[in-house]
Amino acid sequence: MYYQLYEMNHAAMTPMRAAADATRLSFKNPLNPLSHTVFGRSVTAACEVFERATRRYAKPGFGLTSTQVGGVRVAVHEEIVWSRPFCNLVHFERALPDPSRRHPKLLIVAPMSGHYATLLRGTVEAMLPRHEVYITDWVDARLVPLAAGRFDLDDYIDYVIAMIHHLGPNTHVMAVCQPAVPVFAAVALMEAAEDPLAPSSMVLMGGPIDTRVKPTAVNTMAEERGLEWFKRHVVLTVPWPLPGFLRQVYPGFLQLGGFMGMNLDRHILAHREFYDHLVQGDGDSAGKHRDFYDEYLAVMDLTAEFYLDTVDKVFIRHALPKGELTHRGRPVDPSAIRRTALLTIEGERDDISGVGQTEAAHRLAVNLPADKRYHYLQMGVGHYGVFNGSRFRSEIAPRISDFVWTHDRRPRRPSPAKAARAALPAATAEAATAPSSQAPSAAIAPAKASVVMMNGHTVNGAKASGATVAVTASPEPKPSPVTAKPTPETVEAAPAKPAAKSVANSAAKSVAKPAAAKPAAASPAAAAKPRAVEAATLSEIVLKKPSGKPDDLTRIRGIGAKLAETLHGLGIFHFSQLSALGTTAAEELDAKLSFRGRIRRDDWIGQAKALAGGA
């Protein structure tokens, strides 16, 4: 009955909203002399506040048309790639310059808790530059016909598993707030079934894994009221003529009332300030208010069975942390999680999911190795600051990106350094057997090759500048094929044939003209960089300040802006420093980073050696 009354009141207010809007336009018209007076601006502001306060807000759009990838602005196109009655999976397809180089697939599971998925617009925007982003776009339950069937917590888990299967192997999943529980359960079920498509990593943000830890007002109310109270007071029937006629739902307008009631004084003050900004002509501040409340006041209905399931199992019975949660009769066992890396994130001032509630996931996943788990507490942010805002963009998003890239299981392209090491033996062998017409002296007295590269660094007793490759020849008593083992400093990646010709020609010239065998002098820029001699300990390569201009360490795959800042704090500014890491030094540096094992997994040393040649 309440739902019908709400719809009736909304319909009754329609003429008043139309009159208020017409009055606003009249007093805003520059041809009206009163529009330039304080009285005219006051009338305009009052009419707009009234119209917005009584409006039903439609679902907003994401509005993400472009993003920046590797310093290049690229177009973004939204595409629905998977669909069910209660959810659409949206892919933000980027027009990448090199489509063959795909980024990690990131599935963002938006909360089904009243607001639309567009509430995570900032989250999607922050992750787009370095990930293939997909997001769950839940459908308003009042728009789903009753014939489509029911949708409860078990169905939610089924949807998550189905979407992960659709995206295929090496998918990463991020759950924001409420979906932390169903996503964690879905991963546990997939791991228990030894599903090869289980996610490579999952990120849980401000989610109610164990609401017994530092319970908030929301948690306390659920326990005090009990499930029957919610059934009697908040479950209503969708009225005619909406498509979901007769469906039992938890209405969006009741959820919105609960959200605003928690901080009613703030919302009243925000609308008073909005009125003042309109009167004063402060368009920027008024625009920010409109943008925020256009999103915040747009709400959707939830199916009653899903809402009651969540209240009962998550907030009243605490089924997951107690080991009592089941999915279609099968127990959900978090101890089965062994391969999917886990990152949990919380906000210091979160008044919806208390500090420690999300971190509890680590205590449940007892068999997950230490190098696959990490927890981060962001200071100074509340619930919404965990997934949106300036601190999310500068502090949280880079950590998520680093974690995803660290635990990505996709086959990697061989780094330039590895390609060089694979190509060099074949190149030098072909140089040794080059035709006599190209190098007659070399055919009589084969050369012993010494390959030199890297920014003036010594390799096999010689120096080189920039990417110089010098081959010196010394006569041997007996003809034999020339072979040269690649040194760790060999960084140039080139096809075997061209490299062979280059080495053969250099060898011929060096035998015919000894003076030409002198290596090129190191350039001043190259000499200024630290030498790439393998360091036994980390202290041997750290610097108090960079030698000249620091290198852009984010060019190394697996190093984001936040991690580059951490490396700078440790005294590492150049590719040549990372390329000089010995085994012990690499272990020392790895111990100082947030996520262990990333230096080896992402081949930082190999990448740094390749980049140092052209830095």
Q: Please tell me the least confidently modeled range out of 79-83, 201-205, 493-497, 589-593.
A: 493-497
pLDDT of residue 534: 73
pLDDT of residue 608: 87
Share above pLDDT 70 across residues of the chain, in percent, rounded to a whole number: 79
pLDDT of residue 181: 97
- Summary mean pLDDT of the chain: 81
Per-residue pLDDT band for 458 (boundaries 50, 70, 90) equals very low
Measured between alpha carbons, how far is 548 from 204 in angstroms, rounded to an integer? Answer: 41
Question: What average pLDDT score do residues 528-553 get?
Answer: 76
Cα 73 to its chain centre, rounded Å, is: 18
Question: Is 50 exceeded by the pLDDT of residue 578?
Answer: yes
Per-residue pLDDT band for 577 (boundaries 50, 70, 90) equals confident
pLDDT of residue 295: 87
Per-residue pLDDT band for 569 (boundaries 50, 70, 90) equals confident
> Domain 66-251+301-406 belongs to what architecture?
3-Layer(aba) Sandwich (3.40)
pLDDT of residue 412: 56
Shortest CA distance to 428 belongs to which of 403, 402, 447, 456?
Answer: 447
Per-residue pLDDT band for 595 (boundaries 50, 70, 90) equals low
Question: What average pLDDT score do residues 460-487 get?
Answer: 39
pLDDT of residue 48: 92
454: left (phi over 0), alpha (psi -120 to 50) or beta: left
Question: What average pLDDT score do residues 412-435 get?
Answer: 52
pLDDT digits (tens, 9 = 90+) for 367-405: 999 999 999 999 999 998 999 989 999 999 999 999 999
pLDDT digits (tens, 9 = 90+) for 135-173: 999 999 999 999 999 999 999 999 999 999 999 999 999
* φ/ψ (deg, to 5) at 201: -155, 160
Question: Is 50 exceeded by the pLDDT of residue 505?
Answer: no
pLDDT digits (tens, 9 = 90+) for 61-74: 999 999 998 888 99
Provide the residue type at 555 as one letter: R
pLDDT of residue 300: 92
pLDDT of residue 422: 53
Question: Is 80 exceeded by the pLDDT of residue 524?
Answer: no
- Residue that wins the pLDDT comparison between 268 and 590: 268
Q: Please tell me the least confidently modeled range out of 26-35, 147-156, 330-339.
A: 26-35
- Residue that wins the pLDDT comparison between 339 and 36: 339
470 Cβ neighbours under 8 A, 6+ residues apart: 450, 451, 452, 462, 464, 506, 510, 517, 519, 520
* φ/ψ (deg, to 5) at 303: -65, 145
Question: Is 60 exceeded by the pLDDT of residue 498?
Answer: no
Question: Is 80 exceeded by the pLDDT of residue 287?
Answer: yes
Per-residue pLDDT band for 174 (boundaries 50, 70, 90) equals very high
pLDDT of residue 542: 86
pLDDT digits (tens, 9 = 90+) for 223-279: 888 899 999 989 999 998 889 999 999 998 888 888 788 778 889 999 999 999 999
pTM of the model: 0.69
Question: What average pLDDT score do residues 114-139 get?
Answer: 94
What residue has token string 């959810």? 87
Query: Mean pLDDT: which of 213-217, 461-465, 481-485 is highest?
Result: 213-217
pLDDT of residue 516: 41
- The number of beta carbons lying within 10 Å of the beta carbon of residue 279 is 18
pLDDT of residue 588: 82
Measured between alpha carbons, how far is 313 from 581 in angstroms, rounded to an integer? Answer: 51
